[in-house]
Chains A and B, each alone.
Chain A
Amino acid sequence: NAGVTQTPKFQVLKTGQSMTLQCAQDMNHNSMYWYRQDPGMGLRLIYYSASEGTTDKGEVPNGYNVSRLNKREFSLRLESAAPSQTSVYFCASTPRLDSNQPQHFGDGTRLSIL
């Protein structure tokens, strides 16, 4: 009963390096989301995917790309990491974009960029 699984849990990068954060859900959900959480701020939406094959920008998409590989997996890529991208990244999913169901979250990836 895994729910939403994120890998890795921790990562340290140097400025300019690239990295892909992985997310997979086993609940047969159509919609998936990537957020970042910074101290003293609420979670902010980076990108989301309404269904397999579609992706859309959220509130803070600059510096990120995403891939909805299949229904289960939604990855987030940092092409050239910057210190401002140091954050905790969360992946979430819901049955559908318009469902009145709560989002299910993974445990997060803690990313530090030096």
Chain B
Amino acid sequence: KQEVTQIPAALSVPEGENLVLNCSFTDSAIYNLQWFRQDPGKGLTSLLLIQSSQREQTSGRLNASLDKSSGRSTLYIAASQPGDSATYLCAVRRSNDYKLSFGAGTTVTVRA
């Protein structure tokens, strides 16, 4: 069974600081890894998807890296803004499996 862990559970930073969010998983045989954003009372919005053959993906101020051998992914958000305040979820899809295994998320607060 794939276990996905996100530490810390919550994070508070001043505006302008770079954010570093961590995700670890136990089974390195993955198909892809996805990062989602969830705003209070809302559903999940996909931020980045990294395929197993990729090492990183970038979109604007967001960059996600993947190290399968160590079972880790990191989401970097540059120059954080109050609008980045949300819960960020990591999800891993194993090879030969259609199910996503989700971490519990990291709740980020960016202070103005």
Contacts and interface: CB of A to CB of B under 8 A. Distances in A.
Interface in A14-65: 31, 40-45, 48, 50, 58-59
Nearest to B9: A40
Given A50-B98, A58-B99, A107 B32 contact: no
B104 A42 contact: yes
Classify chain A's interface size. 20 to 34
Interface residues of B, number: 24
Contact of B45 (A58, A101, A105): A105
Contacts, number: 56
Nearest to A4: B43
Contacts of A90: 43-44
B89 A42 contact: yes
B12 to A, nearest CB: 18
A100 B45 contact: no
Interface of B: 4, 9, 31-32, 34, 36, 41-46, 49, 51, 89, 91, 98-105
Given A42-B91, A43-B100, 12 more contacts: A31-B98, A43-B44, A43-B89, A44-B102, A45-B100, A48-B98, A59-B99, A97-B98, A100-B51, A104-B46, A105-B43, A108-B42
